[in-house]
Structure 1
Amino acid sequence: MNNQAKRWLVGLGSALLLSTTVHAAEQKLFLFNWSQYMDPDIIKAFEQKYHVDVVQSYYGSLDEMYAKLQAGGDSQYDIIVPSNYFVPRLVKAGLVQPLNKAELPNLDNVMDRFKDPSYDPGEKYTAPYQWGITGIVYNAKVFPHAPDSWSLLFDPKENEGQPFSMISDGQVLFGAACAYLGKGYNCTGQQNWVDAAKLVLKTKQRSNFTGFIDGTPVLQQVARGVTQVGMTYNGDFLADKESNPEGFKDLEFMIPKEGAEVWVDSMMIPRRAPHPKLAHEFINFILNPKIGAQLSNYNMYSTPNKASVQYLDPLLRKPPALPTPEQMKRLEFTPSLDGKQLQLFQQIWSDVKSR
């Protein structure tokens, strides 16, 4: 073999290696999600079906997710899973792209109640992932006659001498305070927020207040008796109770009669997602009836997929996983805020936390 032929073969080998490397790099899906919110077996099934690798990253709050997207993450991730009240903020900031519904035939499986949602008219940017409720977790042995009311948090006579916490999400907490004050969970406006802030400050200053705690970690604190009352999510409550039945035997989840939050987490594609076609494949995969049920059976949250209901575990077909029709009437979305309204809320909430 002459030198020219050798050089040609070496060049061809390099080109093939480069092509293989580029192809391998393209065969990845970058998922940015809440932690412990995805069944590993679903990831494996998707990887096997589409011959790809799924790279998962996690955020602990919506503010963290938003900040990372603004810092360039909109070109690093293919799928994000924000809650409903952050959707308009992401759209207005230009951080997400519209969905190509022609690539999402399984969107037809979505329940009517989750079609054309107020936070995304026409479902232009979102496909629902899971939904749930924010309510109260408490020790029924300590509070055998607990009222089905936010008074278990806000009325000092109801939890006198017992440690309690409040959720660290300011909008959700103010919604609870507004509901307790008779203003409705989805209240907005300066006066309503000031009234809510006064109630939260008054509650915060009590000697048995243990702090602002996220809805997931508070469950272990209540199970250990570090606190006896807190705010949490129905799916996390059920999942922890199933994994630790002895520790959770005296704990109950309650939806306050004054009203509470119902939330929807949705799948969205960042504006500069590196693999938008693969992202559509993933969304459509999650909306498959059996996959949708597998997801809910894993994390114990409700499915927005009407075709998945028949495959759900019996526990997910009754409260607290599935609210009664009467309870559903009392549930509201957390309002979406932007502009001056958002700035005003953030100023009031910052003042509450700093005092």
Structure 2
Amino acid sequence: MASTRFGRRFVSALVIPVVGALALASCSGGSDASKGTDSPKGYVEATSGEVNLYTWSDYYPADLIKKFKTDTGITLNVDYYDSNENLEAKLRASNGAGYDVVVPTDYMVKILADSNLLLPFDAKSLPNGVNIKDSFFDVYFDQGRKYTIPYLYGTNSIMYDSAVITEKIDSWADYFNPPASAGKVGIQNDQVEAVNAALRATGAQPCTKDGAQLQAAQDLLKSFKSRVSTINSDGILERLATGEEKMAMIYSGAAYRAALERPSLKYVYPKEGVNLWQDNFAIPVGAKNVDQAKTFLNWMLKPENMAVAVNFQGYASGVKGTDELMKPELASSPAIVIPPGYDLAKPVPPCDNEATANYSKIFETFKG
């Protein structure tokens, strides 16, 4: 999930525990079928037209846009958002129209599917659906992959410049009570990530409805506001890499890329735990170019294509063959490889309506 969101020997250290944690917790239209290829599964491979992708900022490589056109003859248009909530609002306002492919995070997949805003298509109906890792089919948010295919996954935590901040930073409590050397601190424009982090810092768990715990999180965010430089999910990588910000909330892939430019940047695995997220490709129910959208999803399930996104974004994928194609420097990055023995990176299922309403009030009060 992610705005700027393992080599084989790291598979046992990261991929297997991550996958287990994630697991626990045919309509068509707008295609030129006469120019497509009908497969035994009823999949129609489009060879012309366009597909409109709505995704996170800085979250799809330009090289793949060009390659998709070359390989398929289909034009890929890309538009951007900076939070799952903005994606949800856009789809609700349009009854699922306007885009052909979207990239919701795990919990948002369930919300959108339960609201009948996603088109059911069954990932197994795609010829390359066999490339989805077995453990990525039985995920809590889309059992059997009836609405989505996996894109990338990672964690969301804290990064700071150790050349400037010499104090020990190892918790969300440290983030919300930063040392003076940190200056102004960046936080994402994401109510789920921000409120969950504040709840963790005050000793509570995500989705709590306990009034005292919610008040403590709100009070913490209120006191933190004077230390905030930006409430923005865009440009975090650049602000840290250039030194504009010395500490910020950031996704692991962006953290990896920032550290390539400024090696003194350190990614933190907080003692209170972190969110383990998974982003996915889905087709909105109002999509006009459905065959083109399915062709795009099927194309992205080729490991050589998904690996371009893996290496550019700095995340792992649920597609077979991508781990082996990962850059060595990515496979050894502390931002990507969860430390041995750290078992606090876990997915956070969506809160119910009451808890979500509480999150919205807390976050809007913080932003206001």
TM-score by length of 1: 0.82
The correspondence for 1:189, drawn from 209, 215, 219, is: 209
Q: State the secondary structure of the residue aligned to 2:156.
A: strand
Paired letter, 2:240: V
User: d(CA) in 1 for partners of 2:128 and 2:271?
Assistant: 36
1:79 aligns with 2:79: no
> CA distance change for structure 1 residues 62 and 104 in 2, over 3 Å: closer, same or farther?
same
Q: How does 1:147-158 map to 2 (within 5 A)?
A: 147-155=169-177, 158=179
Aligned CA RMSD, in angstroms, stands at 2.7
User: d(CA) in 2 for partners of 1:289 and 1:226?
Assistant: 36
1:163 aligns with 2:184: yes
User: d(CA) in 2 for partners of 1:41 and 1:225?
Assistant: 28
Percent of paired sites with the same residue: 28
Q: Deviations over 1:67-113 (max 9, x none)?
A: 22223272331110111221122112221111233432433333344
Paired letter, 2:73: H
**Matched residue pairs, number?**
324
Q: Indicate if the aligned counterparts of 2:124 and 2:130 stay in contact, CA closer than 8 A.
A: no
Q: Indicate if the aligned counterparts of 1:216 and 1:233 stay in contact, CA closer than 8 A.
A: no
Q: State the secondary structure of the residue aligned to 2:218.
A: helix
The correspondence for 1:324, drawn from 329, 339, 359, is: 339
Q: Indicate if the aligned counterparts of 2:123 and 2:147 stay in contact, CA closer than 8 A.
A: no
Q: Deviations over 1:262-315 (max 9, x none)?
A: 111100001021122221221121111111112111222222223211111012
Q: State the secondary structure of the residue aligned to 1:133.
A: strand
* Greater shift in the superposed pair: 168-177 or 340-349: 340-349
User: d(CA) in 1 for partners of 2:218 and 2:158?
Assistant: 19
Q: How does 1:126-275 map to 2 (within 5 A)?
A: 126-155=148-177, 158-159=179-180, 162-184=183-205, 186-191=206-211, 192-205=213-226, 209-242=227-260, 245=261, 248-275=262-289
Aligned to 1:8: none
The structure whose Rg is larger is 1
- Following TM superposition, the consecutive aligned residue runs of length 4 or more in structure 1 with deviations greater than 6 angstroms are 22-26
Paired letter, 1:299: Q
Deviation, 1:177, is: 1.9
> CA distance change for structure 1 residues 273 and 215 in 2, over 3 Å: closer, same or farther?
closer
Gaps of 5+ in 2: 1-31, 36-45
* Greater shift in the superposed pair: 29-38 or 332-341: 332-341
Deviation, 1:142, is: 1.8
Paired letter, 1:320: A
Q: Indicate if the aligned counterparts of 1:37 and 1:299 stay in contact, CA closer than 8 A.
A: yes
Q: Indicate if the aligned counterparts of 2:142 and 2:148 stay in contact, CA closer than 8 A.
A: yes
User: d(CA) in 2 for partners of 1:215 and 1:58?
Assistant: 12
Q: How does 1:10-25 map to 2 (within 5 A)?
A: none
Paired letter, 1:276: V
Q: State the secondary structure of the residue aligned to 1:152.
A: helix
Q: State the secondary structure of the residue aligned to 1:94.
A: coil
Aligned to 2:129: 107
Q: Deviations over 1:162-206 (max 9, x none)?
A: 33233321221121122223334x34324333322122222224x
Q: Indicate if the aligned counterparts of 1:179 and 1:258 stay in contact, CA closer than 8 A.
A: yes
Q: Indicate if the aligned counterparts of 1:285 and 1:291 stay in contact, CA closer than 8 A.
A: yes
User: d(CA) in 1 for partners of 2:183 and 2:367?
Assistant: 22
Gaps of 5+ in 1: 1-19
> CA distance change for structure 1 residues 227 and 46 in 2, over 3 Å: closer, same or farther?
closer
TM-score by length of 2: 0.79
Q: Indicate if the aligned counterparts of 1:95 and 1:271 stay in contact, CA closer than 8 A.
A: yes
Aligned to 2:42: none
Q: State the secondary structure of the residue aligned to 2:257.
A: helix
Paired letter, 1:239: R
1:68 aligns with 2:90: yes
User: d(CA) in 2 for partners of 1:334 and 1:212?
Assistant: 25
> CA distance change for structure 1 residues 142 and 346 in 2, over 3 Å: closer, same or farther?
same
